[in-house]
A and B are shown apart, each in its own frame.
Chain A
Amino acid sequence: MANISIRNVEKSYGALNVLKPFSLEIEDGEFVVLVGPSGCGKSTMLKILAGLEPASGGQILIGGEDVTDLAPGDRDIAMVFQNYALYPHLTVRQNVGFGLRMRGMDSAEITRRVNDAAQVLEIGPYLDRRPKDLSGGQRQRVALGRAIVRQPRAFLMDEPLSNLDAKLRVHMRAEIGALHQRIGTTTVYVTHDQVEAMTMADRVVIMRGGEIQQIAPPEELFQRPANLFVAGFIGSPGMNMVRGMASGGRLSVLGHEVDRRAGRDGPVIVGLRPEHLRIGEGRAQFSVRPTLVESLGSEKYVYFDAGAPYRTESDSERSKGLIARVAHSGPIAAGSELVLGYDPDDLHLFDAQTGLAL
């Protein structure tokens, strides 16, 4: 196990800068998740960390040792790939033991370690099968087995759950979490799924366009997003964004005024999470006519239009309008008037020009 220090690592393909200077200190035993939309540079960063792609600049230290120019096999890391990358011509036993054999370990020790890993991951019955004879979940366990058997200084995981179906993904997510608790190896995990990031990480690194947007524990990301992108990315459904005007400690939003200090006067973007809206409760209240009501059984998604003056650019991405996520409480009809309320302290305020949190 080791700490990882990433210092100003960047990656360019000619004039195209896919990863802007990236710095991150990862503690020994920490579980860090890199998350962001496709093309944000998270997988590139992981490959650079693994040594599978050279960095255009910067420095990487693992356990205090400069590994920037070392080959992947010399970095003492293990990686789990999105498509498992199991060797199809080898049995599960040979797959798991491959890395140990490459390191010249004696066969008795390889057998012992493979059996230990098989026991931890419950893949013992499949050791003599080939990957093609395994289900997706079993293959994923073998891929994890191949990583843990080496007892490396760090695990790198590149969207390891994205090929699994929804139910199995939830199950394996918990298993990876439990595995990390048990063996405590420093882990860098890449995903585009914010739920994985929020549930598994000690700290989350949110990326966009090759740049870090925010580094924080999951709770902090949710409670104090650093900018509009993070606010919109974290949370499901995403945060509602409307235009507002701050003036003298008062905030004008959605046709009413509330007591809320923005730090400065002028136009702002106001964020309000769908779950912070309640029917007929809250210090601030306003009427809407729902355009659509979706029932999810235990709760409802009530969609409504903010009205032209309050719409933001992000509304065009969410064609159904703003959302209130309310507890299931009697029928709500689209088109009939509904009073929604919230606590002004739950509002998030962002600079209308820069998008940074105020």
Chain B
Amino acid sequence: MTRTPLQSLILYAVVILTLGLILFPVYWLLVTALSTTDKLYALPPKFWPVDPHWDIFARVWEAKPILQWLTNSLIAAVGSVALSMLVSVSAGYALSRYSMRGGAAMGMFVLTAKMLPATLLVIPLFSIFAKAGMIGSLWTLVIAHSTLIIPFATWMLKGYFDTIPKELEQAAMVDGCSPLGAMVRVVLPIATPGLAATALYAFVLSWADYAYARTFLVNAPDNWTANLGITTMQGEYVTYWNDISAAAIFVAIPIIVIYLFLERYLVGGLTAGAEK
């Protein structure tokens, strides 16, 4: 079906408007980082600084332990992805393939955990981690983030496994694989887009967390994640928003890079179920 010029015009206008709405905060973050403190509150606002301060990135990188914060965020995110994928792949596969007594109810119960707001779980988790002597450890984030990721990831993967014909595993078993071997050699390679999409969801959820990091790690500066570290840059009397913006850009870069690399898997992973 071809579009009329008017339809094309409306379509492009809507796309550009949507993109503008999504990208404006990112653009404004850059403008804020590059502006001097006295220009930040100028009215009317300047949409591009007259004299952009590109050196701010080097200055913030040296002044603050950005690398350490990013490393901590990375450890927490990779740990959360690894733990939650291990559990979600197994649980999603079992829900998809095996009929268990009460399996459907169990699957729904898993999903109810996702319905609880993350902040509601902060207090019981803090209590558990405190008793276990884990407060201040990055493990608290790995475990806490996994509790949020696993319910949704399990269902996301179950949906993906449902689209893979059972006959493939049966063929693999006739060919000499064990049930686990059929899953590892046949199902998981086919499910790569679904696995990538789920892993990315898990990574972003962990990377974006602030509430849990603030609660469990505030007294352990060596283990601060990037989001927690940035909030400590807010001064009691003066806040250098350009410094904070520059640090925020450092935090956003890894996510952008990962998205660029995994974008094709992500789209494939999210739409594969709809194609069947």
Q: Of residues 4 to 30 in A, which have CB atoms within 8 Å of B's CB atoms?
A: none
Query: Which of B165, B168, B175, B176 has the most chain A CB within a 10 Å cutoff?
Result: B175
Contact A87 B186 (CB under 8 A): yes
Q: Which residue of A lies closest to B167 (CB)?
A: A85
Known: A88-B190, A89-B189, A89-B190. A72 touches B173 (CB 8 A): yes
Query: Bound state CA distance, A83 and B178, in angstroms?
Result: 21
Indicate whether A50 reaches chain B with its CB closer than 8 angstroms.
Answer: yes
Contacts of A103 in B (CB 8 A): 176
Interface 0/1 of B176-209, CB less than 8 Å to A: 1110010000100110100000000000000000
Indicate whether B172 reaches chain A with its CB closer than 8 angstroms.
Answer: yes
Contact A73 B176 (CB under 8 A): yes
Contact A85 B189 (CB under 8 A): no
Indicate whether A184 reaches chain B with its CB closer than 8 angstroms.
Answer: no
Interface 0/1 of A51-62, CB less than 8 Å to B: 110000000000
Contacts of A79 in B (CB 8 A): 170-171, 174
Known: A88-B190, A99-B175. A72 touches B168 (CB 8 A): no
Contact A102 B190 (CB under 8 A): no
A114 shortest CB reach to chain B, Å? 13
Indicate whether A81 reaches chain B with its CB closer than 8 angstroms.
Answer: yes
Contacts of A51 in B (CB 8 A): 173-174
- Extra contacts, 14 of them, besides A51-B173, A73-B177 (Cβ < 8 A), are A47-B170, A72-B170, A72-B173, A81-B167, A81-B170, A83-B165, A85-B167, A87-B168, A88-B190, A89-B192, A98-B175, A99-B176, A102-B175, A102-B176
Contacts of B177 in A (CB 8 A): 73, 102
B180 shortest CB reach to chain A, Å? 12
Contact A85 B176 (CB under 8 A): no
B264 shortest CB reach to chain A, Å? 16
Query: Bound state CA distance, A173 and B150, in angstroms?
Result: 49
Q: Which residue of B lies closest to A104 (CB)?
A: B176
Contact A146 B175 (CB under 8 A): yes
Contacts of B176 in A (CB 8 A): 73, 99, 102-103
Task: Please give me the 3 A-B residue pairs with the lowest Cβ-Cβ distance, nearest first.
Answer: A102-B176, A99-B175, A73-B176
Indicate whether A195 reaches chain B with its CB closer than 8 angstroms.
Answer: no
Query: Bound state CA distance, A150 and B176, in angstroms?
Result: 11
Q: How large is the interface on B (under 10, 10 to 19, 20 to 34, 35 or more residues)?
A: 10 to 19
Indicate whether A204 reaches chain B with its CB closer than 8 angstroms.
Answer: no
Indicate whether A77 reaches chain B with its CB closer than 8 angstroms.
Answer: yes
Contacts of A102 in B (CB 8 A): 175-177, 181
Query: Bound state CA distance, A51 and B189, in angstroms?
Result: 24
SS class of chain B's interface: helix, strand, loop or mixed? helix
What residues of chain B have their CB less than 8 Å away from a CB belonging to chain A? 165, 167-168, 170-178, 181, 186, 189-190, 192
A147 shortest CB reach to chain B, Å? 9
Contact A85 B178 (CB under 8 A): no
Known: A73-B176, A102-B177. A81 touches B171 (CB 8 A): yes
Contact B174 A73 (CB under 8 A): yes
Q: Pick 12 A–B contacts, CB within 8 A, sort by A.
A: A50-B174, A51-B174, A71-B178, A73-B175, A81-B171, A85-B167, A85-B170, A85-B171, A87-B168, A87-B186, A88-B190, A89-B192
Q: Which of A71, A77, A83 touches B167 (beta carbons < 8 Å)? A: A83
Contacts of B167 in A (CB 8 A): 81-83, 85
B149 shortest CB reach to chain A, Å? 26
Contacts of A87 in B (CB 8 A): 168, 171-172, 186, 190
Query: Bound state CA distance, A86 and B171, in angstroms?
Result: 8
Indicate whether A78 reaches chain B with its CB closer than 8 angstroms.
Answer: yes
Query: Bound state CA distance, A81 and B173, in angstroms?
Result: 13
Query: Bound state CA distance, A77 and B174, in angstroms?
Result: 7
Query: Bound state CA distance, A129 and B6, in angstroms?
Result: 45
Contacts of A77 in B (CB 8 A): 174
Contact A85 B173 (CB under 8 A): no
A186 shortest CB reach to chain B, Å? 15
Contact B170 A71 (CB under 8 A): no
Query: Bound state CA distance, A102 and B174, in angstroms?
Result: 10
Contacts of B165 in A (CB 8 A): 83, 85
Query: Bound state CA distance, A15 and B173, in angstroms?
Result: 29
B168 shortest CB reach to chain A, Å? 5
Known: A85-B165, A87-B186, A89-B189. A71 touches B175 (CB 8 A): no
Q: Which residue of B lies closest to A103 (CB)?
A: B176
Q: Which residue of B lies closest to A81 (CB)?
A: B167
Contacts of B172 in A (CB 8 A): 87, 98
Contact A72 B186 (CB under 8 A): no
A265 shortest CB reach to chain B, Å? 54
Known: A83-B165, A87-B186. A73 touches B173 (CB 8 A): yes
Query: Bound state CA distance, A72 and B49, in angstroms?
Result: 71
A136 shortest CB reach to chain B, Å? 15
Query: Bound state CA distance, A78 and B176, in angstroms?
Result: 10
B265 shortest CB reach to chain A, Å? 14
